[in-house]
Amino acid sequence: MTRFLVLLVLTLLPLASHAGFFIEPYLGGDGGNYSQAVSGGTGAYSTITGGTDSGSIKTGGVTGVRGGAAFSIFLAGLDFNIAGINNSSDPVNYDNSNGAFVSFSALAGLQIGNLRVWAKGIDGGIGQSTSQGTFAYQGFGFGAGVGFCIFKHLSIDVEYASISMNKMTAFSNSYTLPATINDGKGDTILLNPYKVNLVFVSIGIPFGLGSREDSKGSRN
């Protein structure tokens, strides 16, 4: 999915001489859930013999910007956002964790009147500071969104994102999950990829949507 969208963006961008450009900063909130299969705990993790840790993810808001080229009804571009995370029920007793979710995406979509729909390939990661140390996950996924311009420069947007993160940094070591994690104290646990599903609701301020031909036509 990610490679397909990147190729689509690269295919559409050469049409920029006939296209308009758009940029949309946005601000909102998001929430969702995580899941991570775990097993084989020893020492401090000996009570974890198997199963899946899961729970909700709470955030402190999301800030981002998307932009690119608009040609006729087609959109292609890039999207960047960052969201604060406050999650008191993180896996394997990473208690009182907080940090940030950061993603960079290639998107492609359609614009029909005031309605926009898009899909995107996501390169995203979560960094968390916990009572047991600092942890980071990185991976790839996909997303889809819909936006509606209620005014010329005001849009209500809703997005869904699903990411599987198989790269992890913990206790000064890097791992490709599934892997046995050692906390440096002789305690270990087998962790599988960290999967996250998020829903974003935001208010955007779009500028420049529509092709140059559309703009010319509106002046005639």
| Res 105: pLDDT | 94
Rounded to the nearest angstrom, the gap between the alpha carbon of residue 109 and the centroid of all alpha carbons in its chain is 17
Looking at the predicted structure, is the pLDDT value of residue 213 above 60? Answer: no
Domain tally for the chain?
A: 1
Contact 159, 145 (CB under 8 A): yes
Average pLDDT over residues 198-209: 88
Instruction: State pLDDT tens for residues 45-71.
Output: 777 767 777 777 766 688 999 999 888
- For 27, counting Cβ atoms within 10 Å of its Cβ (0-12 exposed, 13-18 middle, 19+ buried), the class is middle
Instruction: State pLDDT tens for residues 132-187.
Output: 667 889 999 999 999 999 988 899 999 999 999 999 998 888 999 999 988 777 78
| Domain region containing 158 | 2-12+20-219
Question: DSSP of 60-124, one letter per residue?
Answer: EEEEEEEEEEEETTEEEEEEEEEEEEEETT-GGG-TTEEEEEEEEEEEEEEEETTEEEEEEEEEE
Residue 142 CA to residue 140 CA, distance in Å, equals 7
| Res 132: pLDDT | 66
| Res 104: pLDDT | 92
Grouping H, G, I as helix, E, B as strand and the rest as coil, residue 192 is coil
CATH label of the domain that carries residue 29: 2.40.160.20
Asked which of 40-54, 79-93, 105-119 is least confident by mean pLDDT, the reply is 79-93
Asked which of 9-13, 27-31, 32-36, 146-150 is least confident by mean pLDDT, the reply is 9-13
Q: Which two tokens stand for residue 12?
A: 């559409």
